[in-house]
Structures are given as C-alpha cells and as structure tokens.
C-alpha cells in the first residue's frame, strides 16, 4: 500500500479546473487504473477534524472514532516519549505570526539546531508551568502537560488556519488558561531570542510563536497481526507514522522525504519498501510530501511529489511484487488538502488497486479525483478499505 499523504485536492481554476493529481504525469497509476479498480473512500469520519493522522488510522483498518486519541500521543510513541497516567501529549510547533496573523506553520522552515536553542530557553523559564518540551526536528516538537483537564481544551492545527488571526484560534475551554499563558510566555521569549535576530538579519522568516494542538493520551490499539493475521511493516517519513507502526506492532522503517526532496529520497524509500516486501506480508509506504506542498500552497511541488512517487516508488514496487505468485498493490490518498486554501478537507479521496483477484470491471482511463468519483466503488467507512484490499 502506497499512501499519498494529502494527495487529493480541490479543482484548481488556474489549471483548467484540474487537480495536481489530475495534471500530474502518472503512467504507473494510470496502468493500475486500467488493469484494476478505482474508487473513492471516506477516510475522515463525521465529527473528526480532517488530517493525515485520522486518515492514516482509517487506511490501516482502524476506526478513528474508536481508536484515535490525538496526534500528539502517537508522535510521542514515535519518538520514544512515555506518558504518565495524568499526562497529555501535545504537538508543539514553531510557527510565525506577523501583525497577529499566522503566516507560516513551519516557522520559516526553521532548522533543528536553531529550534533546539529556542526551545531550550523556553523550557528553562517555564518549568513552573508543569509543561515539558521534547525536541523533535525542524518546526515539529512535542509538549507533555500534566493534568487530564488538558483533554478538554479546544485546539486547532496551525496548518489549517494560515492567513487567519492567531488570537481567534488560541486554546479555549477546559485547561485552556494554562496553555495560553504558557504560549504567551514562549512568544515573548522567541520575539527577542538571538536565533530569531540572526534569522531576521539574514532575511529569513523568524519562528515567533509556539503552537499547541493535537493533544491526547496514549491509545490502546489491537495489534495489526492479531487483527488481520499478517506481518506488516511501515516505511514512513513522519514521527506519527513511526509511532502508529509501533503501536500496531508493525515494523517501523523511517525515511526522510520533504516536499521539495529530489529523486534520490524517493528512490531510497522504494529501496526500503522492496526490502520490507521480502520479509513481510504487507508493506505500507506513507509519504507526507504532497500534504506539505498543499499546505504551502505550492501546486507545482504537490504535482511533482506525486510524479516522483509514481515513477520512483510505485513503478519499482509494481515491478518487484509481480515476481511473487500472488500480489496486490493499493495506492490511496489519506485525506485531501486544498492547495488553493492551504487547508485540509474531509471529502472522500481516490484509491486504485490491482493484482491477484482484482478484476477490472471497466478499465479506468486514468487516476484522479473525478475518475474515482465516477466509479461504482465508493467505501463510506475508510477503516473497511484495508479488509477489502486484503480479502476482496
């Protein structure tokens, strides 16, 4: 299974009402569509905020409404951060706020060593708050907060409110005051920190604020092998993917593929997946690069990421698995990201599968959102796609 994180999109009037997926050159995906089945799947259940976290849990065959407790604790599992009984894990991102507007959810693509200096200062002066910061990479980090009332705070993912007034989306509800007090204290430290002063002098965007969201307690998930009877591995480019694999008892195989990554990164990912396929009965390869490009509002980068996944990953995997007596290959988006709006969407997303036992009803002319919507295969519960894929 190859997962295109945020691979689906809105129709773009600047591209003849076509999406990045539709305008991309994807000969391998088109071949799978012609020889197999194309359909739509709803990966985001009603009532849950759209995002790749919820979408990936769905695609793994687990109902997010029953098992998803928040992105923070799953990322904590990915980084080896343990939580106490009364502790809640938050995603803690460095962002940029200018004149009250959240303008960049990556803090100007801040580098990890710069983030370490910023967060160390915040941690040093905030120990009385009961909030601990755990360094991650780039702009993505974790905060662990003591107190179950933190679960009641309403928080918003920063990548979904770009261009909006930050103050309108500060945490609210139960436990919110302690969170907002901490965030304001951090903002004051970051504003005058020498790292940001240097970034301004170099003409780079400073990371001016900390943003807490995605909180939850550690989920209890049935092991994938118990659920589906298969030895599985996940090749992934996020702490969330690593954490989810660990919690499901899958073999995690981390990779690094940014949305502007070159072909070598995708070729390396394909190599990991091919090696995993020789040792496991199911291999999941999850890319966040289309999602990151969408949130950056970069349609060209999103299209390029999809094209590189097609030619350097899907094609190589197809060539490899065809050497087995029985095989199936599934490619699906985990959720949709509107590149024009730079925000996630809960609409149904396309998938294509081919291989042993997958008979094409009518060969599809290609693979994109509109072709999938016109198919007769619509799965309303995203968690059922895995069973369909494995059992047909």
Per residue of the chain (392 residues), what is the pLDDT tens digit?
Answer: 999 999 999 876 665 668 999 999 999 999 999 999 999 999 999 999 999 999 999 999 999 999 999 999 999 999 999 999 899 999 999 999 999 999 999 999 999 999 999 999 998 888 788 899 999 999 999 999 998 989 999 999 999 999 999 999 999 998 899 999 999 999 999 999 999 999 999 999 999 999 999 999 999 999 999 999 999 999 998 999 999 999 999 999 999 887 777 899 999 999 999 999 999 999 999 999 999 999 999 999 999 999 999 999 999 999 999 999 999 999 999 999 999 989 999 999 999 999 999 987 777 889 999 999 999 999 999 999 999 999 87
Specify whether 247 is located in the same domain as 311: yes
Which residues lie across from 137 on neighbouring strands?
Answer: 140
Specify whether 135 is located in the same domain as 205: yes
Question: Within a domain: residue 74?
Answer: no
Quote the domain boundaries for residue 101.
85-216
Specify whether 228 is located in the same domain as 365: yes
Question: Within a domain: residue 73?
Answer: no
Question: Within a domain: residue 76?
Answer: no
State whether the Cα torsion 333-335-337-338 is positive or negative. Answer: positive
Specify whether 237 is located in the same domain as 342: yes
Specify whether 206 is located in the same domain as 235: no
**DSSP string over 314-375:** IHHHHHHHTTSSS-EEEEEESSEEETTTTEEE-S-EEEEEEETT---SS--S--SHHHHHTS
Specify whether 198 is located in the same domain as 297: no
Strands 282-287 and 2-4: parallel
Residue 72 confidence (pLDDT) = 97
Question: Within a domain: residue 7?
Answer: yes
- Token pair 């928040």: residue: 70
Residue 16 confidence (pLDDT) = 62
Question: Within a domain: residue 78?
Answer: no
Specify whether 49 is located in the same domain as 160: no
Of 216, 239, 254, the residue at which a domain comes to its end is 216
Of 216, 232, 261, the residue at which a domain comes to its end is 216
Quote the CA–CA distance of 73 and 87 in Å, as a whole number. 10
- Token pair 């390869």: residue: 285
**DSSP string over 143-183:** EEEE-GGGGGEE---GGG-TTSBGGGGS-EETTHHHHHHHH
Quote the CA–CA distance of 270 and 274 in Å, as a whole number. 6
Number of structural domains (the chain) is 2
State whether the Cα torsion 191-195-200-205 is positive or negative. Answer: negative
Specify whether 57 is located in the same domain as 156: no
Residue 3 confidence (pLDDT) = 98
Cα-based distances in Å from 289 to 23, 95, 207, 363, 388: 17, 19, 22, 29, 26
Residue 14 confidence (pLDDT) = 65
Specify whether 207 is located in the same domain as 252: no
Specify whether 229 is located in the same domain as 364: yes
pTM, entire model:
0.93
CATH code of the domain in which 325 resides: 3.40.720.10
Contact between residue 390 and residue 224 where contact means Cβ atoms under 8 Å apart: no
Q: Which tokens is 48 given?
A: 């849950």
For residue 93, the number of C-alpha atoms closer than 13 Å in the C-beta half-sphere is 24
Specify whether 226 is located in the same domain as 312: yes
Question: Within a domain: residue 330?
Answer: yes
Specify whether 131 is located in the same domain as 183: yes
Q: Which stretches does DSSP call E strand in the chain?
A: 2-4, 37-41, 87-98, 101-104, 131-137, 140-146, 153-154, 172-173, 209-216, 232-236, 251-254, 282-287, 328-333, 336-338, 343-345, 349-355, 378-379
Residue 17 confidence (pLDDT) = 67
Q: Within 10 A of 61 (CB to CB), how many other CB atoms are there?
A: 20
Question: Within a domain: residue 275?
Answer: yes
Of 216, 236, 263, the residue at which a domain comes to its end is 216
Contacts of 341 (CB under 8 A, 6+ apart): 10
């Amino acid at each position: 299974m190859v997962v295109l994180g945020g691979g689906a999109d809105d129709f773009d009037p600047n591209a003849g009402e076509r999406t990045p997926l539709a305008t991309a050159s994807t000969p391998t995906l088109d071949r799978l569509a012609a020889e197999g089945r194309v359909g739509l799947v709803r990966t985001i259940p009603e009532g849950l905020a759209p995002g790749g976290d919820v979408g990936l849990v769905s695609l793994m065959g687990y109902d997010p409404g029953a098992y998803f407790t928040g992105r923070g604790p799953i990322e904590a599992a990915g980084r080896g951060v343990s939580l106490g009984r009364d502790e809640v894990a938050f995603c803690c991102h460095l962002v940029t706020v200018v004149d009250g507007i959240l303008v960049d959810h990556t803090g100007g693509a801040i580098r990890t060593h710069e983030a370490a200096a910023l967060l160390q200062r915040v941690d040093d002066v905030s120990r009385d708050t009961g909030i601990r910061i755990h360094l991650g990479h780039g702009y993505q980090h974790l905060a662990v907060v003591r107190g179950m009332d933190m679960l009641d705070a309403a928080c918003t993912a920063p990548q979904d409110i770009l261009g909006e007034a930050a103050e309108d989306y500060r945490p609210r509800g139960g436990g919110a005051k302690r969170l907002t007090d901490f965030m304001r204290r951090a903002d004051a430290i970051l504003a005058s920190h020498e790292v940001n002063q240097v970034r301004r002098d170099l003409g780079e965007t400073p990371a001016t604020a900390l943003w807490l969201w995605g909180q939850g307690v550690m989920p209890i998930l049935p092991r994938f092998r118990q659920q589906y009877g298969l030895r599985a591995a996940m090749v992934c480019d996020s702490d969330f993917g690593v954490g989810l694999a660990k919690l499901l008892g899958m073999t995690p195989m981390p990779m690094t593929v940014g949305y502007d990554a070159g072909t070598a990164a995708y070729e390396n990912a394909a190599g990991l997946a091919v090696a995993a396929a020789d040792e496991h009965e199911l291999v999941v390869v999850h890319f966040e690069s289309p999602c990151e490009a969408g949130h950056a509002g970069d349609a060209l980068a999103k299209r390029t990421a999809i094209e590189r996944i097609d030619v350097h990953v899907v094609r190589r995997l197809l060539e490899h698995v065809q050497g087995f007596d029985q095989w199936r290959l599934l490619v699906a988006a985990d959720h949709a990201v509107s590149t024009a709006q730079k925000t996630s969407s809960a609409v149904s997303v396309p998938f294509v599968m081919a291989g042993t036992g997958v008979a094409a009803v009518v060969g599809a002319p290609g693979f994109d959102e509109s072709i999938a919507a016109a198919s007769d295969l619509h799965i309303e519960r995203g968690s059922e796609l895995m069973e369909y894929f494995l059992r047909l």
